[in-house]
Amino acid sequence: MGVDVEMIAPRENLVALAERALGPADMVTVRAADPARQPGVFYAAWVRHEARLKCLGTGLGAPAPRTPPTRVAIAAVDAGPEYAAAVAVDDAEVGPLHCRTLRAG
């Protein structure tokens, strides 16, 4: 399983970052997004990408494993309006998610 959560924050040139780091479909989606929505669209794609890599056991710069899972299912997770989150599992689909908010301290 892989999970990623990111705070949605404005960044310069998200299109260029998407072109370098994301797949073609996500890159096109980020490029086509209205500028006001672009950070949310970018981070939604980014957390899916990172969750998938974590599920595969690789990092951003590492090569894909020699025998990757036959399928990886990815689902968005509602982490609130200021965050993008996703979970990826080695399966045909992501089962029911049970999320709880934990407070530090």
| Distance (Å, whole) CA 47 – CA 34 | 20
Contact predicate 91/71, CB 8 Å: yes
| Spatial distance between the Cα atoms of 97 and 92, rounded to a whole number of angstroms | 15
Domains of the chain as residue ranges with CATH: 2-89 (3.90.470.20)
Query: Beta-carbon neighbour count of residue 62 at 10 Å?
Result: 10
Q: How far apart are CA 47 and CA 27, in angstroms?
A: 14
What pLDDT does residue 70 have?
A: 63
- Residue range 55-100, pLDDT digits in tens: 888 777 666 555 655 688 999 999 999 999 999 998 877 877 777 7
Phi (first) and psi of residue 37, to 5 degrees: -95, -10
